[in-house]
Structure 1
């Protein structure tokens, strides 16, 4: 069984988590063992699924095959450092040497690397049929996805030179290069990975989505789909205010269609209540997956 990876990204506040959770519930209801993971430091999966989740894989109540996890950056950093230091401790090296090594892997980029290391661990997992990543706002996500490209090269160059990286000695992190290279390969594989942008029907959101999509393309990662979220239903356009907003939104949908000519675009209307709980995600799933794409 080959795991399918689905990434959701976009500006903060566009509804990434809602669309990611909608998709996760849909996959689980289709009988697929599904995991949704958030890499957003301001994670709120616990809020929208209305149960405690945290830094451990947790079964979503009311389901038999939907699981969730909120990556905690601090805990991920501790786990990452412990994994790097474990071989030294097994050699029974003295405390001073271990302390020096620990200082060497406590550089400014260690937390970033730790989060990405956790992220890559899931990309190596074959237990789930679908793994959905609810990512941090776009800029942070692009940086995270750039890491395997940057650091794979950086590790290789450092191994030939000083043997030191901002993450510590190459001797401690060399094994990561193979993991990172494998992650790059999966991210670029359109048969295994989908990258979905969520945007609002607004010019600033469209501009951000286009920039991010181009950045991904530069990394060799194609954009799979676009979800335009938060559209005012036509039935609600009964006042001048909503009429003006509705016209603005549809003008921006037209722009998006012309901008992303070869990408599947789905639209999602604004709900009159919060998207929280399995029932609401199933309702939004009916709208998202039964609707006809607009190109």
Structure 2
């Protein structure tokens, strides 16, 4: 069994969590063992699935094949530090341990801890589908730059001082393969889908174009764009909604023109919040049936 990875990204508030959760429920309903993980510090999987989740893999109630986790940045950093320091405690005296602790106290350690937790789920064959509900695009792009940056940094540091802000290089060189494997999977569109969620408006379209280009520079291909939040056609009898709907369709047309080789999907607004399994199934019936371009 080869795991399929699906990453959802986009501006804050465009509906990434809703689309990611809809996709997770869809695959779980198909009988695939599915995990949805959020890397967004403002995570709300607990809210949309209406149960406590937190910083641990949790089974979603009412669906045997679906599991979820909200990565807590602070807890991830603490776990990373302890994992890095544990082997050193048996080898070095207290003074050297303190130096290592200081090296593990910078912002780069927090970044690395978040990415390390992220790729833990890319290094597993326990699930058939792993879905990442990521933080807003700028944070996500930085997260995805890390394996490239740190793989090079570890290699260069090994030739020099042998120290990084993650501690002695000798203790983390094994991580280089882990990071390189993650890069390989992220760049392989057969293994990883990268999905941008956007609203049918100018700023959201511009952000999606810019971020997709940034990904391309990292060798990561955008495989799908979901245009979320369209006003349903039946509501356009109201002149206000009719005018707004026409503007939205203009941005849908622009997106189709710009992303002409990428699958484009559209999703209409619902008259209720997207929360709970039944609402995600309702959304999935539209997202996965009859709404795809290029199908």
TM-score w.r.t. structure 1 length?
A: 0.97
For 1:101 and 1:292, the matched residues in 2 are separated by 53
Aligned-pair distance for 1:238? Answer: 2.0
Structure-2 residue corresponding to 1:66: 66
Encode CA deviations 1:4-61: one digit per residue, 9 max, x unaligned: 1000000000000000000000000000000000000000000000000000000000
Structure-1 residue corresponding to 2:276: 277
Aligned-pair distance for 1:236? Answer: 0.4
Conserved 8 A contact 1:27-1:130:
yes
Structure-2 residue corresponding to 1:204: 203
Equivalent residue of 2:220, what SS? coil
Gaps of 5+ in 1: none
Aligned-pair distance for 1:90? Answer: 3.3
Encode CA deviations 1:64-85: one digit per residue, 9 max, x unaligned: 1100000000000011011111
Structure-2 residue corresponding to 1:89: 89
Encode CA deviations 1:164-195: one digit per residue, 9 max, x unaligned: 22333322322221110010000011111000
**1:194-273 correspondence runs (5 A):** 194-273=193-272
**1:102-181 correspondence runs (5 A):** 102-181=101-180
For 1:129 and 1:156, the matched residues in 2 are separated by 33
For 1:190 and 1:255, the matched residues in 2 are separated by 24
Aligned-pair distance for 1:86? Answer: 1.4
Conserved 8 A contact 1:38-1:69:
yes
TM-score w.r.t. structure 2 length?
A: 0.97
Aligned-pair distance for 1:103? Answer: 1.2
Query: Aligned residues, how many?
Result: 294
For 1:291 and 1:16, the matched residues in 2 are separated by 20
Structure-2 residue corresponding to 1:55: 55
Conserved 8 A contact 2:84-2:167:
no
Conserved 8 A contact 1:105-1:169:
no
